[in-house]
Structure 1
């Protein structure tokens, strides 16, 4: 039997704090979601003034990144490239850039999803969260 690392609440709080700090530094009004390796929601935070829909999109992006073990933008790129069949992928709803997997030693621990600004800025916020763990 193998053992694997998992996210603890202290990790989730560190990720969330770093992601929020990045968003606030840039005056970006976003929602930030963190999920475990099965795509289950561990954290959701909607900054004051963020669009209500962002609280639906951020967890979907995180779920997609965790389940696919890759950035959610790769699905968006495949769809934009003509592979529209991915729109029917079961259980995946956040097929947009802004979901970043949390990987350690080749193992997915979960993912961060951000929604509310340009997709590249969403990713910037997510990566700031990853940096809090040294990943």
Structure 2
């Protein structure tokens, strides 16, 4: 019998993903933001809050990342669902229906999620996606 294996998001990889996101943001002219990365269970693995970012943003970013990983979808999908009038998602504990988080995949497996907060929702999502996309380059795939 084969034992299933699962890819793991290491703290080193999480830090490198955050660095890629910050570099992308800097190229876009933004250096004040927060990056939160969670594991597959939605637990905080890595968080970096730049100077000048309000403390409340920590929870926003963490909840966006958690929502994204647990449903294996970008948090924008939940924002769109709520905008269409399906408010049930808002009542789920720990759910954040704001754009700005995307799953992190390795070989097609969701190993975590990254959220960015502190700029605009559109840029938060774009920067988070840049971090998630950097995994292939970081791992040499």
Alignment TM-score, normalising by the size of structure 1: 0.91
Q: What pairs up with 1:25-104 in 2 under 5 angstroms?
A: 25=27, 26-89=29-92, 91-104=93-106
Q: Would the aligned equivalents of 2:34 and 2:48 in 1 still touch at CA under 8 Å?
A: yes
Q: Would the aligned equivalents of 1:28 and 1:116 in 2 still touch at CA under 8 Å?
A: no
RMSD between superposed Cα atoms in Å:
1.5
Which whole-Å CA distance do the structure 2 matches of 1:53 and 1:9 have between them?
24
2:125 alignment partner in structure 1? 123
Unaligned runs of 5+ in 2: none
Q: Would the aligned equivalents of 1:37 and 1:66 in 2 still touch at CA under 8 Å?
A: yes
Unaligned runs of 5+ in 1: none
Alignment TM-score, normalising by the size of structure 2: 0.88
Q: Would the aligned equivalents of 2:40 and 2:111 in 1 still touch at CA under 8 Å?
A: yes
Q: Deviations over 1:24-49 (max 9, x none)?
A: 33224211000011101011111111
Task: Give the number of the structure with larger relative contact order, counting CA–CA contacts within 8 Å between residues 6 or more apart.
Answer: 1
Larger radius of gyration: 2
Q: C-alpha displacement at 1:20, in angstroms?
A: 1.5
Q: Deviations over 1:63-109 (max 9, x none)?
A: 000111000111111111010111112x3332111111012333210
Q: How many pairs were matched up?
A: 134
